[in-house]
Amino acid sequence: MPAPKRTAAAILERLLQGESPEERLSALRARPPDQEPLPPPVPDGSDHTRDGLEKRRAHLREQGIAIEQLARAGPEIAPDILAGNIENLVGFAGLPVGVIGPLRINGTQAHGDFYVPLATTEGALVASYHRGALVMSQAGGASVICTAESVSRAPCFVFETMYDAAGFLAWVIPRYDSLQDTVAQTSRHCKINDVRTVLFGKELFLVFEYTTGDAAGQNMVTLATDAICRKLVDESPVKPSRWYVEGNMSGDKKATMLSFVFGRGKKVVAEAMIPRELVREVLHTEPAEIVRYWKTSFLGGVQSGSIGVQGHVANALTAMFIACGQDAACVSEASVGVTHMDLTAGGDLYACLMLPNLIVGTVGGGTHLPTARECLEMIDCYGEGKARKFAEICCAVALGGEISIGAAMAGGRFAHAHAKYGRKPPNEKTE
């Protein structure tokens, strides 16, 4: 990206650190990084025993790295339980967890009043979602529906010519139905929904869409796709020169327009209607002012090139994902969404949020860890048959946050709220 001349000058000044270009470059050449001896690597990264854990901790201490807080933070979990969740384990990062609610949800899967855990260190976040949850609940609750679900993986096959790629595709298409047998050998929960094809010269992408039961399913679809690819390459008379289990076309952990064209994870829509008097009493503004602000913010989102336009959905999902043992990196795609605000015929506030890309699960991954399980159990979402319910709760929480932030912006109270909740008192000391 081009840098304006003032920015370039500031960058150059920082890089030179008060020296001339010749002096700085000479100093860097005198001691190039690749001639510095590397310290020893972290030992026994896959040893999930107490002895392996202590070896790694001792190694870091020998390097002068303090880990006393990491060593004592978090629940006391036997290291062997974490096999499959982490490598090179040295400790735990303790994060505060707040609870919002009650949040009333009238969903197809989530139905009732919920106290929802949020893990965060950002002041004002829990207060904002708590306010949104309460105002929706006092108005009768959020209506939520999970309309679709799938998890994709997009392998790429590379051939010598476009005609070879087309020949391979022609051989594969009649065999689509038989691929489910191959998938079944990798998991009893994973099933193929659909296959899309993209022929780009000598590169052929096959985009597989799966359902993965109540697991988030990222690893599950990787293993299934790998088995499919190996079978196709082994049996096809036309062989690719190489192939990759993911050709970067699935949208995995990225914000892409695929979210709206095809969807990934669970597509969930939530709506709420807040009476004008409740908006005035709880949110301290008017429905019309919130709608006016949202129209303005929508224009800003479009001009900035945002994929989807919403306020701060990532705040809700990150806090819930960390608390409930989800893959937090999936927030990069799960927070793609669109918020809509409108006035009803009677002048009340209508709010709607559509999230087409919720990658969540209630089994597998980190859901079995003690605090994650407890947080999921807090909202009755631990175990099989609960993933769609969890997705609906996620969307309802996020909608409450959209209402709350919209009201704060419209009423001119956004900065005040962060000054009140997001800053420590001047005389407070931290250790």
Per-residue pLDDT reduced to its tens digit, 195-225: 999 999 999 999 999 999 999 999 999 999 9
* Cα 162 from Cα 170, distance rounded (Å): 12
Structure tokens of 363?
């089994």
Quick one: pLDDT band at residue 30, thresholds 50, 70, 90?
low
Q: What is the CATH number of domain 97-149+264-421?
A: 3.90.770.10
* Residues 77-135: tens digit of each pLDDT: 888 889 989 999 988 888 899 999 999 999 999 999 999 999 999 988 999 999 999 99
Query: Average pLDDT in the 54-66 region?
Result: 86
Does residue 429 carry a pLDDT above 80? Answer: no
Question: How far is the C-alpha of 394 from the C-alpha of 321, rounded, in Å?
Answer: 9
Note the pLDDT of residue 3: 65
**In which band, very low, low, confident or very high, does the pLDDT at 74 lie, cut at 50, 70 and 90?**
low
The pLDDT of residue 99 is 93
Catalytic site includes residue 234:
no
The dotted CATH code for 155-244 is: 3.30.70.420
- Each residue's pLDDT tens digit, 40-56: 888 888 888 888 888 88
CATH 3.90.770.10 occupies which residues in the chain?
Answer: 97-149+264-421
Average pLDDT over residues 396-410: 96
Q: Is the pLDDT of residue 423 over 70?
A: no
Note the pTM of the prediction, 2 decimals.
0.86
User: Which one of the listed residues 44, 111, 122, 226 is annotated catalytic?
Assistant: 122
Q: What confidence score (pLDDT) does residue 90 get?
A: 87
| Annotation says 111 is catalytic | no
pLDDT, tens only, 153-203:
999 999 999 999 999 999 999 999 999 999 999 999 999 999 999 999 999
Tokens in use for 338? 């669109």
pLDDT grade for 37, boundaries at 50, 70 and 90:
confident
- Whether 122 is catalytic: yes
Residue range 367-400, pLDDT digits in tens: 999 889 999 999 999 999 999 999 999 999 999 9
Asked if residues 317 and 333 have their Cβ atoms less than 8 Å apart, the reply is no
pLDDT of res. 431? 45
Q: Is the pLDDT of residue 34 over 70?
A: no
pLDDT, tens digit (0-9, with 9 covering 90-100), for 305-338: 999 999 999 999 999 999 999 999 999 999 999 9
Nearest Cα to Cα of residue 361 among 381, 342, 333, 332:
381
Mean pLDDT, residues 221-244 taken together: 97
Residue 302 has pLDDT above 70, yes or no: yes
Res. 18: pLDDT tops 80? no
- pLDDT higher than 50, residue 25: yes
Cα–Cα distance list, 146 to 233, 302, 319, 390 (Å) = 37, 26, 21, 10
CA atoms within 13 A on the CB side of 53: 20
Residue among 44, 203, 226, 327 flagged as catalytic: 327
Summarize pLDDT for 341-351 with one digit per residue, the tens.
999 999 999 99
User: How far apart are the C-alpha atoms of 393 and 381, rounded to whole Å?
Assistant: 9
pLDDT at 35: 63
Averaged pLDDT score across all residues of the chain:
90
Q: Where in the chain is the domain with CATH 3.30.70.420?
A: 155-244
Give me the catalytic one of 189, 340, 368, 418.
Answer: 418
Question: b or e along 127-149 (b: 16 or more beta carbons within 10 Å of the residue's beta carbon)?
Answer: bbbbbbbbbbbebebbbbbbeeb
